[in-house]
Amino acid sequence: MQSLKVNGASSTHPWLPESFIANGGTLQYTVGSTPNTTWGSSAADAPPSYHYGEIPTLVSLNPGRITVAPGAQVQASITAQNISNAATTVQWSATPPAGLTLTPASGSFTVAANSNAQQSFTIAAGANMAEGVYSIPLTAQTSTGVKLPISALTVVVAKPGNLLGLFNNAGISNDGQGNADFDGDGYSYSAQQLAASGYKPGATVTVNGTQYLWPNVAPATFDNVQVAGQTIQTPDAKAGATHLTFLGSATNGPSSGNVTITYTDGSTQTAQLGFSDWTLGAGNSQPSYGNVVAVKTSYRNAGSGQDQVGTYVFASAPIALNASKQVASITFPSSVDQGALHIFALTVS
């Protein structure tokens, strides 16, 4: 490039303004056989930064989803990352629903230039608060009034022993919506097909004489545990229980790993938990690991449509317990041999 005119005016800028793209224009340029190393090379000719939507500070919650038992309290924090060259003050406030209390419910803190800072707060749940998933809206801004985007805080109120507090995967969706993702590829169970077999939110279902509590959550929300070494306390487990069983399935092939059962005397027991693939390999295999079919649906949801393949939830083979002891907690597999292992419910009986 030797020279350039933009709409008749000489320019040494190696870039075009937004208006040229939006409204069009005329470019007149001269090129040569050798580079003109001076054209467009000054600091004044550097393209400007694109500032649309730019904010000086990023705010987030840590964690963004937290579990608390009725009558208990937990701590979380709001973090601010200042990406400007000047110190700033972040002001925030929260509006918790009835039954949840934040202390403090608002605050402000200073963040040094090109640095980060945080402020902690306590979340308390009322002793009689119903178990469930709640949302706490928050707002944030700088002391100069610049609004800062921030997500709502998700609070799961769950008693010890309720899997709700460990749910980390959304595997069930309404037909025609498909806004859950059980397997990482956008497929999910049909809430309508499950309900037709009695597997409705909060329902007690029975498989081979053993009762389970089906997750009491809405479609397209976290409804199962994709295992990764989580531990659940079992305060309701009775002394003399003889078996531990699970409802669940695996994705991307059959999957197994080791669960650790801890008794109230501190002793432990390790056993295998395995689940068959939730479609039995698109119908090309049989249940494995001693699984029993708990419920079968004729299709699974795929986005806004359906995938016409038999889809299953299984009951695991019973794990024999030491009947002379009482189960205190169960630790799920920290790793599996392949795919992913999902748990919807468990029973100590």
Asked if the structure places residue 51 within a domain, the reply is no
Q: Kindly report, residue by residue over 168-178, the tens digit of the pLDDT.
A: 999 999 999 98
Would the pLDDT of 52 be above 90?
no
Output 49-55 pairs: Cβ under 8 A, ≥24 positions apart. 55/146, 55/148, 55/149
Residue 32: what residue type? G
Give yes or no for residue 50 having a pLDDT over 90. no
Query: Can you give the CATH number for the domain in which 81 is found?
Result: 2.60.40.10
Rounded-to-5 percentages of helix, strand, coil across the chain: 5, 45, 50
Is the confidence at residue 334, as pLDDT, over 80? yes
Nearest Cα neighbor of 341 from 283, 289, 296, 298 is 289
Question: Do 214 and 152 share a structural domain?
Answer: no
Q: Do residue 180 and residue 115 come from a single domain?
A: no
Q: What one-letter code names the amino acid at 193?
A: Q
**Per-residue pLDDT tens digits for 135-151:** 999 999 999 999 999 99
Instruction: Report pLDDT for 32.
Output: 93
Q: Which residues contact 149 (CB under 8 A, 6 or more apart)?
A: 55, 59, 140
What mean pLDDT comes out for the span 337-343?
A: 98
pTM value is: 0.85
Domain match, 11 and 95 both: no
Q: Which of 250, 230, 231, 257 is nearest to 336 (CA)?
A: 257
The total of other beta-carbon atoms located within 10 Å of residue 59's CB is 22
Number of Cβ atoms within 10 Å of the Cβ of 18: 9
pLDDT of residue 2: 94
Q: How many domains does the chain have?
A: 3
Coil, helix or strand at residue 280: helix
Please give the pLDDT value at position 171.
Answer: 98
Strand partners, 330: 232, 261
The residues, ordered by sequence, that sit 6+ positions from 22 with a Cβ below 8 Å of its Cβ are none
Tokens of 286: 């049989």
Of 157, 185, 210, the position where a domain reaches its end is 157
Same structural domain for residues 65 and 172? no
pLDDT tens sequence across 205-259? 999 999 999 999 999 999 999 999 999 999 999 999 999 999 999 999 999 999 9
Q: What is the pLDDT of residues 4-23, one digit of tens each?
A: 999 999 999 999 988 888 89
Q: Do both 255 and 275 map to the same domain? A: yes
DSSP helix/strand/coil, 194: helix
Q: What is the pLDDT of residue 204?
A: 99
pLDDT band at 262; cut points 50, 70, 90 = very high
pLDDT at 17: 86
More confident residue, 51 or 185: 185
Q: Are residues 167 and 153 in the same domain?
A: no
Q: Is residue 338 part of a domain?
A: yes
Question: Among candidates 171, 138, 160, which has minimal Cα distance to 300?
Answer: 171
Q: End-to-end CA distance of the chain, in Å?
A: 81
The CA distance from 137 to 149, in Å, is 11
Whether 167 and 151 share a structural domain? no
Domain enclosing residue 17, as ranges: 3-45
Per-residue model confidence as pLDDT tens digits over 305-331: 999 999 999 999 999 999 999 999 999
Tell me the two tokens of residue 98: 């009835």
Tell me: do 214 and 315 sit in the same domain: yes
Which residue, of 157, 175, 197, is where some domain finishes? 157
The answer to whether residue 52 sits within a structural domain is no
The SS3 of residue 43 is helix
Residues 147, 267 share a domain: no
- Kindly state whether residue 294 falls inside one of the protein's structural domains: yes
Question: Mean of the per-residue pLDDT values for the chain?
Answer: 97
pLDDT at 57 over 90: yes
User: 95 and 29 in one domain?
Assistant: no
133 located within any domain: yes
Residue 263 lies in a domain: yes
Whether residue 114 is found in the same domain as residue 240: no
For the segment 180-207, the average pLDDT, to the nearest whole number, is 98
Q: Which of 157, 174, 200 is the last residue of a domain?
A: 157
Kindly state whether residues 312 and 217 are assigned to the same domain.
yes
Domain assignment of residue 214, yes or no:
yes
